[in-house]
Amino acid sequence: MRYGIAITALLALGSSADAAAISDRASSGGWGLASILSAFGISVSNDAGKHGPTFSINYNAHGNGVGAWQKAVSHSIPWRNNFQGWSTYKANGVNLGSWLEVEQGNTPNVIPSQYPDEWTFCSAVGKGACGPVLENHYRTWFTTSDIDNFARYGINTIRIPTTYAAWYAVPGSQLYTGNQLAYLRTITNYALSKGMHVIIGLHSLPGGANSLDIGEALGHGNWWYNQTNFDFSMKVVDQVLGFIQTTINPNQITFEPANEPCDDIRNFATPNTISYPNGVNYYNTYLRAVYAKIQKVNRNIPMMISDAFMGASYWAPFWQQGQNIVFDSHFYFFAASGVYSQFVSDITCGQASAAATSFPVFVGEFSIESKYNNTLAARRQIYQSQQYAYAQYLSGSAFWDGKLDVTDRVDGEGTKNDYWSFANLIKDGVVLPGGAINSSFC
């Protein structure tokens, strides 16, 4: 994800009016989902007041960065391929992002630069023309040889974002429905055959989950408070669960039914990413509906809950011990206020433990770009400090992204590829064989 760029583009498109409209709908409250929900025995959630405290990384909380690079602690973590539930698992993961859900900002050579997202591209050139471009990307961007390569570096978990259009052709949607599932099946079964755990995610949702390119299309926020789109989402979820059940090992797959949802883009990546109480109630209604569906299909499939940058602690009170859930928190240091690279390792060590809850927490996305003063030499420590801290205090992590194709310069040394591409980190010796750790700060 590169939401900094997407938000800039969104504001350039003048979509703050859309954001205001979404926010008005949120505060007017109320939507008529009862009939859809009664079909699986749940009702509209109205218990938003039960939420816990928000948690967001406090970038200035720890340390002074002095001498960071001189410190290099080793840890022996035997990354295991024996997932038996998130409460005992330690993920050493990588995302296969910008593959089946293409992000213009991560793979600019797939979607031509005049289009901000797949929706706009396909709508402009027609599906007959965007389809072959996307199919070629699906066929080539990640293949089983990448899985072999990642396995050599200790990767035991892969997280695969998809668009809803991979699963269900929603009428009127300009997202492309093609052979995504064939590619997904090949990679998933291959990774499972290597003993890996696979997380299948819905990045986009019908109508638009967060007004960003990744949520359907830039400026689309109609997933929220929209009965039609809720209904389509349920159909998408049915397809995902059906797919999981026909893989070679359904009990090694986690399902994440939303990614970074946000009902008012002006608050994206803040502790108000989802509005209180209406957004919270709507999101919980959806999650509870998905959870009920999972329980009917296969109770061994964990549901992964995107914390929408509000912290797992905010959402934990809505769930009961024994429910098969895991939270997904995304920690990035490239966008937030003023983080210099030499502070990141120390911050990471201190704050991973503070992100823990009574439910397992997985860091489903992180990168090693800092806002200021990136250095190539510091990458190993910054990568390994996060890899270690997230496994030590939480349920592990998945780096974003497996590959990247962006040569824009970062602040300091190098390009985006040097800080966001796992394949590049392997080539440059930042990531060690077997996922070994010899340069952690903590």
Ligand X SMILES: *[C@@H]1O[C@H](CO)[C@@H](O)[C@H](O)[C@H]1NC(C)=O
Q: Answer yes or no whether residue 72 interacts with ligand X by CB under 6 A.
A: yes
With contact defined as beta carbons under 8 Å apart, do 346 and 441 qualify?
yes
Q: Answer yes or no whether residue 440 interacts with ligand X by CB under 6 A.
A: no
With contact defined as beta carbons under 8 Å apart, do 115 and 104 qualify?
yes
Question: Is 129 buried (19+), middle (13-18) or exposed (0-12) by CB count in 10 A?
Answer: exposed
**φ, ψ at 350 (rounded to 5°):** -70, -35
Widest pairwise Cα distance in the chain:
61
Helices (H), 252-378: 278-297, 312-315, 341-352
Exactly one of 97, 105, 207, 402 binds ligand X (CB under 6 A); that residue is: 207
| Rounded least distance, CB 209 to ligand X, Å | 11
| Rounded least distance, CB 347 to ligand X, Å | 14
3-class DSSP state of 43: coil
Binding string to ligand X for residues 301 to 340, with x set by CB under 6 A, is what?
---------------------------------------x
**φ, ψ at 15 (rounded to 5°):** -90, 15
Q: Answer yes or no whether residue 438 interacts with ligand X by CB under 6 A.
A: yes
| Rounded least distance, CB 161 to ligand X, Å | 20
154 vs 387: CA distance, rounded Å: 11
| Residue closer to ligand X, measured from CB, 222 or 275 | 222
Q: 227-256: which residues touch ligand X (CB under 6 A)?
A: 228-229
| Rounded least distance, CB 300 to ligand X, Å | 33
| Residue closer to ligand X, measured from CB, 27 or 323 | 27
With contact defined as beta carbons under 8 Å apart, do 19 and 266 qualify?
yes
292 vs 127: CA distance, rounded Å: 35
Q: What angle do CA 333, 334, 338 make, to 5 degrees?
A: 80
| Residue closer to ligand X, measured from CB, 67 or 242 | 67
| Residue closer to ligand X, measured from CB, 276 or 340 | 340
340 vs 410: CA distance, rounded Å: 12
Question: Is 128 buried (19+), middle (13-18) or exposed (0-12) by CB count in 10 A?
Answer: exposed
85 vs 160: CA distance, rounded Å: 19
Binding string to ligand X for residues 160 to 199, with x set by CB under 6 A, is what?
----------------------------------------
DSSP letter assigned to residue 139: H
| Rounded least distance, CB 229 to ligand X, Å | 5
| Residue closer to ligand X, measured from CB, 18 or 328 | 18
| Rounded least distance, CB 132 to ligand X, Å | 26
Tokens, residue 373: 């003063």
Piece of 35-43, 225-233, 327-335, 349-357 that binds ligand X (CB under 6 A): 225-233
| Rounded least distance, CB 272 to ligand X, Å | 22
Piece of 226-234, 319-327, 349-357, 394-402 that binds ligand X (CB under 6 A): 226-234
| Rounded least distance, CB 318 to ligand X, Å | 25
16 vs 14: CA distance, rounded Å: 6
Exactly one of 373, 392, 405, 415 binds ligand X (CB under 6 A); that residue is: 373
Binding site for ligand X (CB under 6 A): 72, 207, 222, 226, 228-229, 340, 373, 432, 438-439
